[in-house]
Chain A
């Protein structure tokens, strides 16, 4: 199949995936991810993490194809794809190994750009975005867990990928850091980056992501505008998820969600 140039989307065509033969974790997923910030939600074990690893070419489809901006993931490697797709892992301990925050952030860009100066500039900027500029000379393990998660985010931002995937960004974060992450997401969206997240935090999804895809048992049971999807009690119950607080609130008061959605300090 000829590579499609200027194709700004992520196409997933009839994706099936199994770790062990015939035990399918993902069963026939077909969808297209566009510029809308997208949240992928579902219980643990529903297939979300596997899906995201496939997007990142860390795994290859058992059946079907994934096209990232026209590039088939079967024809490339995770490392080569790092320029285009950035994945912020859930657990900072899974990637931190340098003894200085700045060095840690520079690791990715050095691999991708091979230009020390550019890597350095990008890293400083990324640290500023996440609010860790004053800690750049410190040892990563002297930071709090919350700060280490922001460090991992910075490491990915410094590579300037077109697509940024966040795996459970709000776990172990306080409200302030969660707000910061929301701001960063808005910034990225305004720069026309693709932002995708896996999360359990329905309130976080409602606030930041215009599209929500619900996974259960390896299939998509709901996909569309976030407000609609997160108001569908049946689908949410099937996926063992909760209705976001603001939607619950709007219902109980007897108003539309729109009326209260911007009312927060």
Chain B
């Protein structure tokens, strides 16, 4: 594992879209599903995301993401169905347990919003190389320093993990037991965290020197070797997203004022 990345390398229309385009889509779909208290808005974007993940051939991975929240969703349905404070209309019972409409609806809305968020951002993550994402953002004006931090974190984490295993070996060699009761485990934890943090800081300092001598931060507008093209499709999609977002916000604010 060289980087912490869920990117699935395929050659599809979705993959070729500019990262920022996909980011706009994700934001728009999430914001809209939260602005409108209707299940249908969430379902609409959810179906679009699922369709796109089919096109991008990452449907399997997407299912994986969603199933991660399956348990939480069911739990929410049960709890809200039974105990939501505005519960009034009984829908069904299972033995002694009473389930009410208001709670079930409320929970469903919440679940749709969450799953929608996961699929929209999941689409972004599965079809975009992290480094391309960062390059794109920096091209659009994100500070190169922040961009560097984001990029390096993804590769540095696996490095830290492998450093951790060496550190565990070193401390075990000095008689540190890693099994045993809680206080032993706690002792082990500190003996592991200490060197990990310290050596990471030392390495971060050395790395900072290394990029400094390669001119990092010399100009505010660095060049980019990696080209992230912005096609007409990208511009079109972004325009649609912005348009829809503006309409939605205006509509919602109007409704709120009229209330």
Contact = CB atoms under 8 A, between A and B. Distances in A.
Tell me if chains A and B make direct contact, with any CB pair below 8 A: yes
A58 B190 CA distance: 20
A93 B191 contact: no
B174 A107 contact: yes
Interface in A105-135: 107-108, 111-112
Contacts of B174: 82, 95, 107-108, 111, 155-156, 159
A94 B170 contact: yes
Interface string B157-197: 00000010011011111111110000000000011011100
B194 A58 contact: no
B38 interface: no
A58 B173 contact: yes
Interface stretch (A35-43, A83-91, A208-216, A230-238): A83-91
A94 B175 contact: no
Contacts, number: 71
A228 interface: no
A111 B190 contact: no
B199 interface: yes
A111 B194 contact: no
B176 A93 contact: no
Interface string A54-76: 00101000000000000000000
Given A79-B172, A141-B198, A94 B177 contact: no
A243 interface: no
Contact of B172 (A58, A97, A98, A159): A58
B166 A94 contact: yes
Interface in B191-244: 191, 193-195, 198-199, 202-203
Contacts of B173: 56, 58, 78-79, 82, 86-87, 89
Contact of A78 (B169, B190, B193, B203): B169
Contact of A95 (B171, B190, B193, B203): B171
A192 interface: no
Interface in B1-56: none
Chain B interface, DSSP helix/strand/loop, else mixed: helix
Nearest to A83: B175
A86 B199 CA distance: 22
> Which of A89, A93, A111, A156 has its CB near the most chain B CB atoms (within 10 A)?
A93
Contact of A97 (B163, B169, B175, B195): B195
B171 to A, nearest CB: 6
A94 B195 contact: yes
Contacts of B178: 79
A255 B167 CA distance: 47
Contact of A58 (B169, B175, B203): B169
Contacts of B169: 53, 58, 78, 89, 94
Nearest to B197: A97
A44 interface: no
A155 B171 CA distance: 11
A111 B176 contact: yes
Contacts of B170: 89, 94-95
B218 to A, nearest CB: 30
Given A53-B169, A58-B169, A107-B191, A93 B175 contact: no
Contacts of A155: 174
A81 to B, nearest CB: 8
A94 B163 contact: yes
A33 interface: no
A140 to B, nearest CB: 9
A96 to B, nearest CB: 6
A256 interface: no
A20 to B, nearest CB: 14
Contact of B175 (A53, A89, A96, A108): A108
Nearest to A59: B169
A77 interface: yes
Contacts of B198: 93, 96-97, 141
Given A93-B202, A94-B163, A82 B175 contact: yes
B172 A95 contact: no
Contact of B176 (A79, A89, A96): A79
A169 B190 CA distance: 26
B191 A94 contact: no
A142 to B, nearest CB: 13
Contact of A93 (B171, B172, B190, B199): B199
Given A94-B199, A107-B174, A159-B175, 7 more contacts: A58-B173, A89-B170, A93-B195, A93-B198, A96-B195, A97-B190, A141-B198
13 contacts: A53-B169, A58-B173, A79-B175, A82-B174, A89-B169, A93-B202, A95-B167, A96-B198, A97-B191, A107-B174, A107-B191, A108-B174, A111-B177
Interface of B: 163, 166-167, 169-178, 190-191, 193-195, 198-199, 202-203
Ranked 3 nearest A-B pairs via Cβ: A97-B194, A111-B175, A93-B199
